[in-house]
Amino acid sequence: MLPQDLHIHTTYSANDNCVVPEQTVALIAAVKHARIVGVSDHFESLLNGGFERYCAEVSGYGLKVGVEVDGHTWVQEASEHEVDYYVMHCRDSGADYRSVELLLATGKPVIIAHPNVLGTDLDRIPAQCLIEINNRYVWRSNWREYYTPFVDRFNFVISSDAHQPNWLSQTVARYAAAELGVAEHLVFAG
Ligand SMILES: [Zn+2]
Ligand SMILES: [Zn+2]
């Protein structure tokens, strides 16, 4: 069993056409591929009344409740919603870097999502943020060159970014983390 997986999508990410109808919270909970499992659906998909139902269902299965926040335009609203942690898309823009501070001010863990494919400049990310090594995307860049300068500066989390049941795996991300000499940071005890 994996130690932790905090980046998983379910059918609540209705705007994401990579998610399959079988990818329900119930299925994620039943598979239970990691000791600590967190669901992090797209925040913008959870508005229009879906947020409370989402929190109740995810926490009802004993899973951590996260949201994936797509840049600065959603940060203010997301910071006003009670979750266990945030996963954030931080593109290479001043507005996105500044909005990271707003998420950190909530006191909740902030995971910078697949920075290697968003062009995130990790020199501009506060050291309290957790940096993701993401199984879906880590191989889609020169990850060795991208992450190596920062291995001593940040804590890292390893994630599947699963949108489909067979993506509940971290094989490539764990290979990259081992090559980088990165020890995974466990965000939640248990
Ligand atoms: Zn993402
Ligand atoms: Zn995602």
Which 3-state string (H, E, C) describes 23-51? CCHHHHHHHCCEEEEEEEEEHHHCCCCHH
Check whether 190 has a pLDDT greater than 80. Answer: no
Phi, psi for 15 (deg, rounded to 5): -85, 0
Instruction: Give the tens place of pLDDT for each residue, 120-134.
Output: 999 999 999 999 999
- Cβ atoms of 113 and 95 within 8 Å: the answer is no
- Å from CA of 114 to ligand 1 middle: 7
Does 185 map to a domain?
Answer: no
- Å from CA of 182 to ligand 1 middle: 21
Q: Among 98, 70, 67, which Cα is nearest to 81's? A: 67
Does 128 map to a domain?
Answer: yes
* Interval 31-38 mean pLDDT: 98
Residues with CB under 5 A from ligand 2 (ion): 68, 161
CA distance 190 to 187: 10
- Å from CA of 115 to ligand 1 middle: 9
**Which CATH number does the domain housing residue 80 bear?**
3.20.20.140
* Interval 39-51 mean pLDDT: 95
| Structural domain total, the chain | 1
Does 132 map to a domain?
Answer: yes
- Å from CA of 31 to ligand 1 middle: 22
pLDDT score of 49? 87
Task: Give me the sign of the Cα torsion angle 79, 85, 91, 96.
Answer: positive
Does 55 map to a domain?
Answer: yes
How much is the mean pLDDT over the chain?
Answer: 97
pLDDT score of 113? 98
Does 139 map to a domain?
Answer: yes
Check whether 47 has a pLDDT greater than 80. Answer: yes
pLDDT score of 24? 98
6: left (phi over 0), alpha (psi -120 to 50) or beta: alpha
pLDDT score of 76? 97
- Å from CA of 8 to ligand 2 middle: 7
Does 186 map to a domain?
Answer: no
What does the radius of gyration of the chain's CA atoms come to, in whole angstroms? 15
CA distance 12 to 51: 9
- Å from CA of 88 to ligand 2 middle: 9
Instruction: Give the tens place of pLDDT for each residue, 76-86.
Output: 999 999 999 99
- Å from CA of 12 to ligand 2 middle: 12
pTM of the model: 0.97
* Angle between helical axes of 94-104 and 72-79 (0-180°, round to 10): 10
pLDDT score of 79? 97
What contacts 174, CB < 8 A, 6 or more positions away?
135, 158
Instruction: Give the tens place of pLDDT for each residue, 93-117.
Output: 999 999 999 999 999 999 999 999 9
Q: Which ligand is nearest to the CA of 88?
A: 1
CA distance 149 to 145: 8
Does 189 map to a domain?
Answer: no
Q: Find the domain containing 138 and state its range.
A: 2-180
pLDDT score of 48? 85
pLDDT score of 22? 98
Q: Among 45, 48, 39, 57, which Cα is nearest to 13's? A: 45
Phi, psi for 129 (deg, rounded to 5): -70, 155
Q: Among 69, 50, 40, which Cα is nearest to 187's? A: 40
Q: Which ligand is nearest to the CA of 9?
A: 2
